[in-house]
């Protein structure tokens, strides 16, 4: 136990003493336990502060990386699903009869999604050409019907006729006057006399 400098307290102290026989000296050194404990406490506080700062930095870094990765994933998913959604909407409009056949999908990539857009555009183009052909055919039929109607209207009226009057059918039979070795003559068809009587 030693007096602690600057205070009236007596503090424990770790001491070491060695004797130098050559000169007859005694050399000693010591350190107060209180100083050691204070130094250890400062080191522990500094380590705790560094650890806390490291944890905070790692957390913020992880959060930042998570946000960046989430944004990249969102952009990729949106880029992938966007053309599919537009294609689905266009097909739904065509199925409902509200589709604009002049609209084409933008080919934004060379992958399967871009190939889907290319094939959809080709399908819409073929459908548009087919509908144009149908429209031209319909117009041609309509014009031909109009011309036929004009021709019929320009013809003179046909006089009306009475229904056909026919007499009763006659079934004459031809018989040979005497027996003959030849086969008998088959009866002829019924004779029906008709006349067209104008009114």
Identify the CA nearest to 117 among candidates 84, 76, 89.
84
- What average pLDDT does this structure show over 62-79? 92
Chain segment 50-70, per-residue pLDDT in tens:
999 999 999 999 999 999 999
- Is the pTM value of this prediction over 0.85? no
Whole-number Å distance between alpha carbons of 44 and 148: 109
DSSP-derived secondary structure for 12-24: -EEEEEEEETTTT
pLDDT score of 193: 45
- What average pLDDT does this structure show over 172-196? 50
Identify the CA nearest to 125 among candidates 94, 163, 168.
94
> For residue 118, what are the contacts with CB-CB under 8 A and spacing of at least 6?
107
Whole-number Å distance between alpha carbons of 187 and 171: 8
- What average pLDDT does this structure show over 162-172? 52
Whole-number Å distance between alpha carbons of 158 and 117: 63
SS (H, E, C) 93-154: HHHCCCCCCCCCCCCCCCCHHHHHHHHHHHHHHHHHHHHHHHHHHHHHHHHHHHHHHHHHHH
Chain segment 84-122, per-residue pLDDT in tens:
888 788 777 777 766 667 777 777 777 777 788 788 888
């Amino acid at each position: 136990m030693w007096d602690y400098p600057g205070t009236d307290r007596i503090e424990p102290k770790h001491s070491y003493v060695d004797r130098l026989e050559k000169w007859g000296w005694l050399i000693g050194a010591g350190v107060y336990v209180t100083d050691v404990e204070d130094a250890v406490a400062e080191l522990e506080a500094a380590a705790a502060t560094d650890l806390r700062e490291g944890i905070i930095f790692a957390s913020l870094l992880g959060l930042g990386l998570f946000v960046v990765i989430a944004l990249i994933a969102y952009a990729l998913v949106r880029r992938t699903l966007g053309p599919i959604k537009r294609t689905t909407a266009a097909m739904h409009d065509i199925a409902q009869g509200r589709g604009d056949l002049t609209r084409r999908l933008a080919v934004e990539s060379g992958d399967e999604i871009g190939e889907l857009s290319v094939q959809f555009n080709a399908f819409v183009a073929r459908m548009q050409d087919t509908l144009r052909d149908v429209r031209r055919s319909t117009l041609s039929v309509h014009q031909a019907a109009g011309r036929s109607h004009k021709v019929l209207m320009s013809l003179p009226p046909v006089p009306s006729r009475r229904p056909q009057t026919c007499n009763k059918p006659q079934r004459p039979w031809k018989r040979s006057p005497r027996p003959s070795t030849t086969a008998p003559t088959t009866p002829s068809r019924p004779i029906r006399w008709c006349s067209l009587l104008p009114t």
